[in-house]
């Protein structure tokens, strides 16, 4: 059975349920002013997230560490690929200061993949969490980590600093993983999430729809994730960043997203965020409690 959807011909107009309201509100305006004034780096702005106004209004923001150049070339991702810059060892303190300046209640930290580094960037990851804790003791944290090539010693650095939530995205179903994620492996990602859960972490993962997956494949992916004890799952619509990226095959309807939400809750997930505009950090503050 296919997803209930609208087949997406090339360069078609987005359906009405993908229209985004302009962000408004006092809190959003204040944060926008701080980001512009101090040139603070958030994925919310650089990624033009459709939920920026809502998340900022709730005191949540997402920051990317370890540069803006990834060593992998995933077919869905708008982050540039190439040879990354050298590591900035003062970055943890910079991120911590930004969070303090913005008075962020819940921070999501993510990064590019740094397969060029022996430690996969895990040292900067751990130091960033520690710096945020020192400067912002009341801020809760979610770390959206790469797979660290499945190296448990590197993953241990994340576990040791104990963020409230550790997230690692599956992105897509098993059949499409090689095409969508290229250097990633479906079972390796499942293994990372299982290892995190086995070591006491609250775990989270996300998948995007509209790449040609079937309903059965989505449900199986959800079952696979629940099978490794995953606590939180996000399900959203894939949108093509540019003509060079994988095309959108389908626009999934709100009714189908609601069906996945219902199924996910029945499977036992603690939280299920399922909707066209849902992204990894959507409602992230809620997942930490």
Report d(CA 261, CA 271) in Å as an integer.
9
In percent, the amount of the chain with pLDDT more than 90 equals 55
- Domain definitions of the chain by residue range: 5-287
Average pLDDT, integer, range 160-184: 93
Query: Hey, what are 109's tokens?
Result: 């930290």
Mean pLDDT, the chain, rounded, equals 86
Report d(CA 118, CA 267) in Å as an integer.
38
Q: Is 39 left (phi over 0), alpha (psi -120 to 50) or beta?
A: left
Average pLDDT, integer, range 216-240: 96
Residue 283 has a pLDDT of: 78
Average pLDDT, integer, range 269-284: 89
Res 8 pLDDT > 60: no
Record the pTM. Answer: 0.87
Residue 61 has a pLDDT of: 83
Residue 38 has a pLDDT of: 62
**Cβ atoms 147, 192 nearer than 8 A:** yes
Query: Hey, what are 6's tokens?
Result: 């609208």
Phi, psi dihedral angles at 231 (to 5 degrees): -90, -40
CA atoms within 13 A on the CB side of 195: 20
**Cβ atoms 180, 172 nearer than 8 A:** yes
Query: Hey, what are 145's tokens?
Result: 């980590």
CATH topology of domain 5-287: TIM Barrel (3.20.20)
Report d(CA 284, CA 128) in Å as an integer.
19
Query: Whose CA is closest to 213, among 162, 249, 263?
Result: 249
Residue 121 has a pLDDT of: 93
Please write the tens of the pLDDT for every residue from 75-133: 566 566 677 788 889 999 999 998 998 888 999 998 877 878 899 999 999 999 999 99
Per the DSSP assignment, residues forming a β-bridge with 214 are 2
Crossing angle, helix 152-161 and helix 122-135, to 10 degrees?
Answer: 0
- SS3 of 218-242: the string is HHHHHHHHHHCCCCEEEEEECCCCC
Computed from CA positions of residues 25, 31, 34, 35, in that sequence, does the dihedral angle turn out positive or negative?
A: negative
Please write the tens of the pLDDT for every residue from 195-225: 999 999 999 999 999 999 999 999 999 999 9
Average pLDDT, integer, range 28-49: 67
Residue 63 has a pLDDT of: 87
Length of the chain in residues, anyone?
Answer: 289
Query: Whose CA is closest to 145, among 82, 87, 201?
Result: 201
Res 73 pLDDT > 80: no
Report d(CA 50, CA 278) in Å as an integer.
9
Q: Kindly report which listed range (41-55, 105-119, 148-162, 183-197) carries the lowest average pLDDT score.
A: 41-55
Query: Hey, what are 26's tokens?
Result: 């006092």
């Amino acid at each position: 059975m296919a997803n209930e959807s609208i087949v997406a011909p090339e360069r078609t107009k987005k359906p009405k349920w993908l229209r985004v309201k302009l962000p408004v509100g006092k809190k959003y305006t204040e944060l926008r002013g701080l980001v512009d004034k101090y040139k603070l780096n958030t994925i919310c702005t650089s990624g033009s997230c459709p939920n920026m106004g809502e998340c900022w209004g709730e005191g949540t923001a997402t920051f990317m560490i370890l540069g803006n150049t990834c060593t992998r070339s995933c077919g869905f991702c708008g982050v540039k690929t190439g040879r990354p810059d050298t590591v900035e060892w003062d970055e943890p303190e910079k991120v911590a200061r930004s969070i303090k300046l913005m008075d962020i209640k819940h921070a999501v930290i993510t990064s590019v993949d740094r397969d060029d580094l022996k430690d996969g960037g895990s040292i900067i990851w751990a130091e960033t969490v520690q710096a945020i804790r020192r400067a912002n003791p009341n801020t809760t944290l979610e770390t959206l980590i790469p797979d660290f090539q499945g190296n448990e010693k590197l993953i241990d650095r994340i576990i040791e600093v104990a963020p409230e939530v550790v997230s690692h995205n599956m992105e897509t179903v098993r059949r499409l993983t090689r095409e969508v994620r290229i250097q990633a492996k479906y079972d390796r990602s499942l293994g990372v999430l299982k290892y995190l859960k086995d070591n006491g972490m609250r775990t989270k993962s996300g998948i995007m729809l509209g790449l040609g997956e079937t309903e059965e494949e989505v449900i199986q992916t959800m079952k696979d994730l629940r099978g490794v004890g995953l606590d939180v799952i996000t399900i959203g619509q894939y949108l093509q960043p540019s003509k060079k990226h994988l095309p959108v095959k389908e626009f999934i309807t709100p009714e189908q997203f609601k069906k996945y939400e219902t199924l996910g809750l029945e499977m036992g997930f603690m939280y299920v965020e399922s909707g066209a505009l849902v992204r990894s950090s959507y409602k992230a503050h809620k997942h930490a409690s």
